[in-house]
Structure 1
Amino acid sequence: MKGRILLIEDDHILAESLSKFLQIHGYDVSVASSYDEGALKTFDEKFDLYLIDVNLGDGDGIELLKALRDVDDDTPTIFISALKDISTITRGFNAGAEDYIKKPFDPEELLVRIESRLKKQKSKTLQYGDIIYKDGRFFKNGEEIILGDVQRDILLKLLENKGKVVPKESLYNLMINPSPTGLRVILNKIKKKTGINIKSVRGLGYVID
């Protein structure tokens, strides 16, 4: 799987065709047909990228992204819209979008933009003490730390929110079979492999200081 995409689009025909197209090209696509449904899905699940229509039947897609950015959701976002005026495009980028594609568009062009955006996301670099995250992998003193996909995703989530408590529900969303015991096992493995002190905040979640 290349990545998880949330498509928020109230045109059911377009949403269905785009979803099938992206699935054929290796993406796991979840579809929301309204502002409210899209907002709920962003809180319930973890995605690698959002595709949001600007004009939703029950709200403004740009306002939705602003609300997500206000709660520190930095998921890369591409707006899709029939609105082509510069003021709307400017609003979209000012809200925190990484890209904006105008309807009608060639699905192949959208695919190129998605792949480019996710490639940039994976190439970002983070450092915590002697631990470095680069190109989707973790290193310690120059040697790669071998982590499973879920372990890597959870550690990255914690480091991206360094100093903040990450709710355990957010970590469950990264697991295949989420459970309190399973999460504790994964966190203990990460601690042993990295030496990073991951603290439990009772009743809330976990934090790396």
Structure 2
Amino acid sequence: MKKILLVEDDTVLGETIVDILEDENYYDITWVKDGKKALDKSFEHQYDLYLFDINVPFINGLELLNDLRKSGDKTPAIFITAKVDIESFEKGFEVGADDYIRKPFHMRELLVRINKQIQKSFLSHNTQVHYKDISYNIESKIVTKDGDTEHLTPTELKILELFLKNTGRVITKDEILDFTHDGGLGSDSSLRVQISRLKKLGLDITNIRAIGYRCEKP
């Protein structure tokens, strides 16, 4: 489970975000409605992502993230804002934001942005990833099983990396194809062959009918 600290004083929006994220069965959400409580929570727990509305009581999102960055906190952060002026965007990135999402937004867009930041964080903190008897080096792209090197195609390596970064989460077919083909077109038949290859390698992959796949946690 990935831990997210949400700071949002709009009750309806906050409840909606929490419901959507918890439905993914992959996120553990801590929701507070003001910057002061958020600051307290950030010192009490380690989070995988911050999701901050800018205009919240006591300590606004910009001041909150600025304080966290000054303390050495490098947790990925996404700002939620209704502001569209360039000065607000510049200020946000100056204090250490990793991304912005403007109100109103589609919840699917929010999920995509959250997943992207968590994946980037994963890459920056992990070089060697292990799954059962499989070891994958993210930098060298070398896969070994029981110490023996396994030879995968570039696309199979991308799918392997996507699964290892998201064990326990359902990944849609469209998400996999978009990731492996950089927004281009891929085929379902090729994907099935690649998934079969990864299963033979040792990944415990479940087919979620009409949706996508889930790599089960080891």
**C-alpha displacement of 1:135:** 5.3
Name which one, 1 or 2, has greater alpha-carbon Rg. 2
- 1:11 partnered with 2:4: no
Give TM-score scaled by structure 1 length: 0.60
How far apart, in 2, do the equivalents of 1:79 and 1:136 lie? 30
Give TM-score scaled by structure 2 length: 0.58
**C-alpha displacement of 1:123:** 1.3
Q: Which runs of 4+ in 1 moved over 4 A?
A: 135-140
Report the 3-state secondary structure (helix = DSSP H, G, I; strand = E; otherwise coil) of the residue aligned with 2:124: coil
Instruction: Give the structure 1 partner of residue 169 of structure 2.
Output: none
**C-alpha displacement of 1:74:** 0.4
How far apart, in 2, do the equivalents of 1:20 and 1:135 lie? 33
**C-alpha displacement of 1:139:** 8.8
How many residues are matched?
135
Instruction: Give the structure 2 partner of residue 51 of structure 1.
Output: 51
Determine if contact 1:123/1:136 at 8 Å carries over to the other structure: no
Report the 3-state secondary structure (helix = DSSP H, G, I; strand = E; otherwise coil) of the residue aligned with 1:13: helix
- One-letter code aligned to 2:118: L
How far apart, in 2, do the equivalents of 1:70 and 1:20 lie? 32
- One-letter code aligned to 1:22: L
Instruction: Give the structure 1 partner of residue 77 of structure 2.
Output: 77
How far apart, in 2, do the equivalents of 1:139 and 1:69 lie? 31
**Aligned-pair Cα RMSD in Å:** 2.1
- Are the structure 2 counterparts of residues 72 and 21 from structure 1 closer, same or farther at C-alpha, using a change threshold of 3 Å? same
How far apart, in 2, do the equivalents of 1:100 and 1:136 lie? 29
- Are the structure 2 counterparts of residues 34 and 116 from structure 1 closer, same or farther at C-alpha, using a change threshold of 3 Å? same
How far apart, in 2, do the equivalents of 1:135 and 1:86 lie? 39
How far apart, in 2, do the equivalents of 1:29 and 1:135 lie? 27
Task: Give the share of equivalent positions with the same residue, in percent.
Answer: 39
- 1:134 partnered with 2:133: no
- One-letter code aligned to 2:8: E
Instruction: Give the structure 1 partner of residue 104 of structure 2.
Output: 104
- Are the structure 2 counterparts of residues 135 and 122 from structure 1 closer, same or farther at C-alpha, using a change threshold of 3 Å? farther
- Are the structure 2 counterparts of residues 7 and 102 from structure 1 closer, same or farther at C-alpha, using a change threshold of 3 Å? same
- 1:22 partnered with 2:21: yes
Report the 3-state secondary structure (helix = DSSP H, G, I; strand = E; otherwise coil) of the residue aligned with 1:92: helix
Determine if contact 1:7/1:32 at 8 Å carries over to the other structure: yes
When structure 1 is superposed on structure 2, of 36-45 and 54-63 the one drifting more is: 54-63
- Are the structure 2 counterparts of residues 14 and 85 from structure 1 closer, same or farther at C-alpha, using a change threshold of 3 Å? same
How far apart, in 2, do the equivalents of 1:135 and 1:85 lie? 41
